[in-house]
Structure formats: structure tokens, C-alpha cells
């Protein structure tokens, strides 16, 4: 048998393993994912998993790539830069929130892989289209990506009951501005994402105007 069919079989097995790993995380969180559990779920011996991935970090890199592929699949092909930036940010947020701990998975990933590089490259192109210099376009793309990632991380970390805890703590009147309220908007993730995104868009426009 040639090496090509073997590579194809390995790739298919790896893709299935990534899907199953994401399902394990969806069910129990990132802490629930172990290589042994994944092997058991796939009906494989543990060494077979390590033939697909060098270790858990390599597996998580592939999981991040799979999540980012969801954002890449809906990249806007053309149009004015600001609507494109909004669509890209919203698409990334949706992809991250599709899977439990999606932001943690992607946030710990620095692998130079296709979906990762495609998304960032397209975002840099969008920032260049806004009229930023190349250096500022790189920084703006990073700021936008990190904003979406951070907001998704906050949202996925919320377990419920935070409002009551905050109100109890703020009742001591040690934090005047927070105690003045209202507290609820702090956890209105949809609204605060939209507001923060518009702040970034306005900031980019301001830099371009110079």
C-alpha cells in the first residue's frame, strides 16, 4: 500500500478524534478531556491516539483549528471594511460559543495552521482596507481578535448567580462607582459585545482620520 492512502486514513481518524474530543468538552468541560477518555470513546488503545497526536497540546491545537474553521467558513468575501469587521467579529464569537470552553481552547492556541492563519490574514486585509498602515493593521487585527476572545471567555466562564454575588459584595459600599449600579449590564454579554465592538470600530476610524 502506498503512503498516500495511509495518510488519508490517518487524517480521517484524526478528524473524527477532534470531533469526539469536542463532544467530550461540550459534555464535561475542558478538564474532562483526557487522552485515555478519548481513546476509550473511539474504541482505540491509548498508543493509537498518540500516533495521531503528539500529546494533549497537539490535540487541543487541532480542536482550536476546527473551531476557527467555523469562523472561516462564513468570512465575508467583500464589502466596506466596517461591516466586514463587524461580520468577522460576530462570526468568530459564534464559532467560539458553539463549543463549551471554545474560547479557552482557541485562546491557548498559537499553532500556525490553515484556519487560524486564514482568519487573521483576512482580518488584517480588512484593517488595511480601512486605511491603516500595515503595522497598525496588524495591531488592530490583534486588538479585535483579542476583544472577541476575551468577551467569549468571560461569557463562557459565567456560571449563573454572579449578579447576586456582586450585589452582596457591593453592598459594603467599598466600590462607589460599581455600587451606584446598575450591576446587571455587566453580564449582558450580547449588548456589551456589540458596544465594545463599536468602540473598536470608532477607534480604528479615528486612527485613520489621524
CATH 1.10.357.10 domain residues, the chain: 75-209
CATH code of the region 1-53: 1.10.10
- What integer pLDDT is reported at residue 172 of this predicted model? 67
Percent of the chain topping pLDDT 90: 74
- What integer pLDDT is reported at residue 71 of this predicted model? 96
Q: For residue range 23-64, what is the model confidence (pLDDT) as tens digits?
A: 999 999 999 999 999 999 999 999 999 999 999 999 999 999
pTM tops 0.85, yes or no: yes
State the average pLDDT for the chain. 90
pLDDT band at 2; cut points 50, 70, 90: very low
CATH 1.10.10 domain residues, the chain: 1-53
- The Cα 20–Cα 36 span in angstroms is 12
CATH 1.10.357.10 fits 75-209, yes or no: yes
pLDDT band at 180; cut points 50, 70, 90: confident
- The Cα 86–Cα 193 span in angstroms is 11
Amino acid at each position: 500500500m502506498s503512503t498516500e492512502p495511509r495518510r488519508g486514513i490517518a487524517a480521517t481518524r484524526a478528524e473524527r478524534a477532534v470531533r469526539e474530543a469536542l463532544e467530550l468538552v461540550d459534555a464535561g468541560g475542558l478538564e474532562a478531556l483526557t487522552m485515555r477518555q478519548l481513546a476509550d470513546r473511539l474504541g482505540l488503545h491509548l498508543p493509537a491516539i498518540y500516533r495521531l497526536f503528539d500529546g494533549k497540546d497537539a490535540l487541543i491545537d487541532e480542536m482550536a483549528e476546527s473551531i476557527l474553521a467555523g469562523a472561516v467558513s462564513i468570512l465575508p468575501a467583500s464589502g466596506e471594511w466596517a461591516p466586514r469587521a463587524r461580520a468577522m467579529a460576530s462570526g468568530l464569537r459564534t464559532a467560539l460559543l458553539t463549543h463549551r470552553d471554545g474560547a479557552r481552547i482557541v485562546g491557548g492556541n498559537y499553532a500556525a495552521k490553515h484556519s487560524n492563519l486564514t482568519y487573521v490574514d483576512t482580518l488584517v486585509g480588512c484593517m488595511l482596507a480601512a486605511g491603516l498602515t500595515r503595522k497598525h493593521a496588524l495591531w488592530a487585527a490583534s486588538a479585535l481578535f483579542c476583544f472577541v476572545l476575551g468577551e467569549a471567555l468571560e461569557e463562557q466562564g459565567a456560571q449563573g448567580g454572579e449578579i447576586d454575588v456582586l450585589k452582596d459584595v457591593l453592598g459594603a459600599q467599598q466600590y462607589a462607582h460599581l455600587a451606584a449600579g446598575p450591576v446587571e449590564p455587566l453580564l449582558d454579554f450580547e449588548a456589551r459585545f456589540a458596544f465594545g465592538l463599536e468602540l473598536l470600530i470608532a477607534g480604528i476610524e479615528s486612527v485613520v482620520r489621524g
